[in-house]
């Protein structure tokens, strides 16, 4: 080989080595441009017109107090005073130690850089979560051209380390802990987030976004962040749920995405989607399309499989799993009437029966037919598709409450089945066992580790232990907290999810929606009632058997127009209870001022992210918190 050819060959080899090094380095550490991808319809408020400051706030005894502006003294905005004075503005309050600096620096969102120390598949999720984080920060901006202003730093580096990158599906034993170390180094802000799993890292990004705020007094408006902070955090309960019913009134996918945005901001992690009921069946089930065809309110009021799967992924990026519930054997009417025309016989009985008060708790009535074997074939197909649509194989909700035995008794008089039972609770129990067997088959002949049922007469003695296997059946206890249901279930060795109606039902208190029969669970549950409910302490329950809690929002009297206001900020108050479970003064149930101010800040945070959350109090109280309590 000639000398010139050898030189060219060495140059090619060198270039290949350089290219390989760059590629390997890029695979190990990715820096993402702060490009925002909007995956849901975000209603931002219009940019605000800048005005000269009217008030200033002074930190007095760990509290921000409003003052008139005096000449020669720099005005301090309420947002900056709140972040630098006294308590953290984090929600939910972290469980571990928190230290916060007393100084801040200005920056703009284009100075963000992400550095990941994580492998696939968690890395892909993390990049999507970073996009969501970036969007949350931009939602604070009130001045369009603020990026033209000079900032205090040259770069805002976010370094995220995930130690177990293989964990990309949330389970009850998933480690959701994280730590944040925020430092000002040279001319840069560096935020180090370390977590065992993606889910902890996502929570860390959420907390980091809550250490950032908009200061409208600085240069007409700038983003600020603390110069220094450390946070250690991990949740108390593994199951932190929120249930929304979309069967009484249909709600769009876009509105449900807003629910998930609020959940992620509050670190809730289970979206329990009560997707069908006796009123309607809006879910398009691929293997049983007749259910939606006969049960949807209209052709534009359905959830297509691809929409459900996209919502599930939208949730997962935000640290949330989706549990789909098709309630059976009761709460099953419209949508189940096509059996005779398909040669399958009556799949449901008492559908739209009148007078409804004899056959169900609210109109319209409808229950599955327990003596028709075709019902169980349909259930198996349905369960297989629900597992596939949700990609959720650890938790499955089968419903199972409020069976009206009179409905079955009237129907079974037409056959000899009625005479085989002295107690129709046994028929209910046998239906449940058959349904669980079909779930087992739909799951590839494997037990679903946690099958949830609503508390009911079947979950009481003596039927409970006869039909519900405590090794994998969990009871969602929804009765009033003073009822014996929850303590009895725990005494009998069952795991529970707490959803007490007198504290955590958010649809209550809006009056009757029909003229006859009980139709309201008054009174309204204000956020203080939601926050103060701590049943494991108040009822002296064994927390090892409590998976967590869930707030519920039934939709007889709401649709997506009032969805946000019914949920927020009350669901956020619940979120702190199941994340960090703060101590309560059991003698007075008085809530500390710090909780009011932090929740007020969080409510404003939710509004900034596009949610129409209810106000907590007059704006005057936000500006003068110590004078309202």
Q: What angle do CA 409, 413, 417 make, to 5 degrees?
A: 85
Q: For residue 271, what are the β-bridge partners?
A: 242, 322
Same domain, 129 and 278: no
pLDDT, mean over the chain = 92
> DSSP alpha helices (H): ranges in 74-165?
78-84, 122-138
Same domain, 476 and 509: yes
Given 331, 397, 425, 533, the catalytic residue: 331
Q: For residue 532, what are the β-bridge partners?
A: none
Overall average pLDDT of the 552-576 stretch:
98
Structural domain contains residue 155: yes
pLDDT higher than 70, residue 274: yes
Express each pLDDT in 494-508 by its tens digit.
999 999 999 999 999
Same domain, 120 and 261: no
- pLDDT bracket for residue 434 (50, 70, 90): very high
Same domain, 474 and 502: yes
- pLDDT bracket for residue 26 (50, 70, 90): very low
Given 402, 556, 559, 593, the catalytic residue: 402
Q: What angle do CA 303, 309, 313 make, to 5 degrees?
A: 130
Same domain, 346 and 487: yes
Overall average pLDDT of the 101-118 stretch:
96
The residues near 556 (Cβ < 8 Å, ≥ 6 apart) are 248, 249, 362, 507, 513, 519
Assign 607 to helix, strand or coil.
helix
The pLDDT, as a whole number, for residue 23 is: 44
Same domain, 211 and 243: no
pLDDT higher than 90, residue 565: yes
Structural domain contains residue 172: yes
Q: What is the distance between the alpha carbons of residues 510 and 151, in angstroms, rounded to a whole number?
A: 49
In this prediction the pTM is 0.92
Stronger pLDDT, 86 or 121, i.e. the higher one: 121
Given 135, 206, 233, 277, the catalytic residue: 277
pLDDT higher than 70, residue 42: no
Same domain, 318 and 359: yes
Structural domain contains residue 613: no
At residue 217, φ and ψ (nearest 5 deg) are -95, -20
Q: What is the distance between the alpha carbons of residues 104 and 334, in angstroms, rounded to a whole number?
A: 58
Structural domain contains residue 351: yes
Same domain, 228 and 245: no
Same domain, 273 and 177: no
* Domain with 207 in it: 27-45+87-233
- pLDDT bracket for residue 21 (50, 70, 90): very low
Closest CA to 273 of 229, 241, 233: 241
Q: At 433, which CATH number?
A: 3.20.20.80
Express each pLDDT in 123-179 by its tens digit.
999 999 999 999 999 999 999 899 999 999 999 999 999 999 999 999 999 999 999
The pLDDT, as a whole number, for residue 543 is: 96
Express each pLDDT in 185-226 by its tens digit.
999 999 999 999 999 999 999 999 999 999 999 999 999 999
pLDDT higher than 60, residue 46: no
The pLDDT, as a whole number, for residue 12 is: 53
Structural domain contains residue 560: yes
DSSP 8-state secondary structure symbol assigned to residue 303: B
Domain boundary pick from 233, 264, 286: 233
The pLDDT, as a whole number, for residue 588 is: 78
The pLDDT, as a whole number, for residue 117 is: 95
Q: At 145, which CATH number?
A: 3.30.379.10
Distances (CA, A) of 134 to 34, 77, 274, 337: 7, 23, 31, 48
Contacts 24+ apart (CB under 8 A), 284-287: 285/381, 285/382, 285/385, 285/386, 286/385, 287/381, 287/382, 287/384, 287/385
Structural domain contains residue 597: no
Other CB atoms within 10 A of residue 31 CB:
12
Structural domain contains residue 569: yes
- pLDDT bracket for residue 469 (50, 70, 90): very high
The pLDDT, as a whole number, for residue 589 is: 77
Q: What is the distance between the alpha carbons of residues 263 and 319, in angstroms, rounded to a whole number?
A: 9
Express each pLDDT in 287-307 by its tens digit.
999 999 999 999 999 999 999
Q: What is the distance between the alpha carbons of residues 499 and 478, in angstroms, rounded to a whole number?
A: 5
The pLDDT, as a whole number, for residue 35 is: 34
Closest CA to 284 of 305, 298, 253, 311: 305
Domain boundary pick from 182, 203, 233: 233
Stronger pLDDT, 23 or 226, i.e. the higher one: 226
Express each pLDDT in 333-392 by its tens digit.
999 999 999 999 999 999 999 999 999 999 999 999 999 999 999 999 999 999 999 999
Q: Is 325 a catalytic residue?
A: no
Closest CA to 568 of 520, 594, 602, 535: 602
Report the greatest alpha carbon distance in the chain: 102
CB 39 within 8 A of CB 314: yes
Same domain, 216 and 126: yes
Distances (CA, A) of 71 to 59, 74, 496: 19, 8, 61
Other CB atoms within 10 A of residue 413 CB:
11
Distances (CA, A) of 358 to 278, 468, 521: 15, 27, 20
Distances (CA, A) of 402 to 100, 254, 481: 50, 31, 18
Calculate the dihedral angle through the C-alpha atoms of 294, 297, 298, 299, rounding to the nearest 10 degrees: -60
The pLDDT, as a whole number, for residue 51 is: 79
**% residues pLDDT > 70 (the chain):** 92
Structural domain contains residue 604: no
Overall average pLDDT of the 477-497 stretch:
97
Overall domain count for the chain: 2
Same domain, 370 and 440: yes
Q: Is 402 a catalytic residue?
A: yes
Same domain, 176 and 255: no
At residue 14, φ and ψ (nearest 5 deg) are -60, -45
Overall average pLDDT of the 588-615 stretch:
94
pLDDT higher than 60, residue 16: no
104-107 sheet: strands from edge to edge: 104-107, 222-226, 212-215
The pLDDT, as a whole number, for residue 7 is: 56
Calculate helix-pair angle for 560-567, 253-266, nearest 10 degrees. 10
- pLDDT bracket for residue 49 (50, 70, 90): confident
Domain boundary pick from 210, 233, 256: 233
Overall average pLDDT of the 57-72 stretch:
90
Host H or E run for residue 571: helix 570-579
């Amino acid at each position: 080989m000639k000398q010139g050819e050898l030189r060219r060959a060495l140059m090619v080899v060198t270039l290949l080595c350089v290219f390989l090094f760059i590629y390997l380095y890029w695979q190990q550490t990715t820096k993402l441009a702060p490009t925002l991808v909007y995956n849901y319809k975000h209603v931002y408020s219009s940019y605000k017109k800048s005005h000269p400051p009217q008030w200033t706030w002074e930190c007095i005894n760990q509290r921000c107090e409003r003052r008139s502006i005096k000449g020669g003294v720099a005005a301090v905005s309420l947002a900056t005073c709140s972040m630098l004075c006294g308590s953290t503005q984090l929600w939910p309050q972290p469980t571990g130690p928190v230290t916060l600096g007393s100084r801040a620096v200005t920056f703009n969102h284009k100075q963000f850089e992400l550095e990941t120390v994580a492998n696939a598949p968690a890395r892909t999720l993390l990049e999507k979560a970073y996009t969501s984080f970036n969007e949350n920060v931009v939602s604070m901006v009130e001045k369009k051209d603020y990026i033209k202003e000079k900032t205090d730093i040259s770069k805002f580096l976010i370094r995220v380390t995930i130690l177990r990158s293989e964990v990309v599906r949330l389970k009850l034993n998933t480690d959701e802990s994280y730590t944040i170390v925020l430092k000002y180094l040279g001319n840069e802000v560096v935020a180090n987030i370390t977590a065992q799993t993606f889910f902890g890292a996502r929570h860390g990004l959420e907390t980091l976004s809550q250490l950032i705020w908009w200061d409208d007094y600085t240069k007409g408006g700038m983003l600020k962040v603390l110069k220094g902070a450390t946070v250690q955090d991990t949740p108390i309960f593994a199951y932190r749920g929120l249930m929304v019913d979309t069967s009484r009134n249909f709600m769009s996918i876009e509105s449900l995405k807003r629910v998930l945005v609020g959940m992620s901001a509050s670190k809730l992690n289970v979206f329990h989607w009560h997707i069908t009921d006796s009123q309607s069946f809006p879910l398009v089930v691929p293997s049983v399309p007749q259910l939606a065809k006969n049960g949807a309110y209209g052709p534009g009021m359905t959830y297509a499989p691809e929409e459900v799967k996209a919502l599930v992924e939208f949730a997962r990026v935000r640290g949330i799993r989706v549990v789909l519930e098709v309630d059976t054997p009761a709460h099953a009417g419209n949508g189940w009437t096509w059996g005779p025309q398909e040669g399958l016989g009556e799949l449901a009985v008492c559908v739209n029966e009148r007078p409804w008060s004899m056959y169900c708790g609210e109109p319209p009535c409808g229950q599955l037919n327990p003596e028709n074997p075709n019902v169980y074939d349909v259930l198996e197909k349905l369960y297989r598709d629900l597992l596939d649509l949700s990609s959720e194989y650890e938790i499955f909700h089968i419903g199972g409450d409020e069976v009206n035995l009179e409905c079955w008794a009237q129907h079974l008089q037409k056959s000899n089945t009625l005479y085989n039972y002295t107690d129709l609770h046994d028929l209910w129990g046998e239906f449940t066992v058959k349904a669980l067997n079909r779930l087992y088959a739909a799951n590839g002949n494997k037990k679903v580790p946690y099958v949830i049922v609503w508390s009911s007469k079947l979950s009481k003695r003596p039927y409970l232990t006869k039909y519900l296997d405590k090794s994998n059946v969990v009871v969602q206890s929804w009765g009033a907290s003073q009822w014996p249901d929850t303590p009895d279930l725990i005494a009998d060795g069952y795991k529970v999810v707490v959803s007490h109606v007198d504290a955590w039902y958010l649809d209550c208190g809006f009056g009757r929606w029909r003229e006859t029969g009980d139709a309201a669970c008054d009174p309204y549950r204000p956020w203080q009632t939601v926050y103060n409910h701590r049943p494991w302490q108040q009822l002296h329950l064994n927390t090892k058997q409590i998976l967590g809690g869930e707030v519920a929002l039934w939709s007889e009297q709401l649709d997506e127009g009032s969805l946000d206001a019914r949920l927020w900020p009350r669901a956020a108050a619940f979120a702190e209870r199941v994340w960090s479970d703060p101590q309560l003064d059991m003698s007075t149930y008085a809530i500390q001022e710090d909780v009011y101010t932090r929740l007020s800040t969080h409510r404003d945070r939710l509004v900034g992210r596009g949610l129409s959350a209810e106000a907590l109090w007059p704006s005057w109280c936000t500006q003068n918190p110590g004078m309202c309590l």
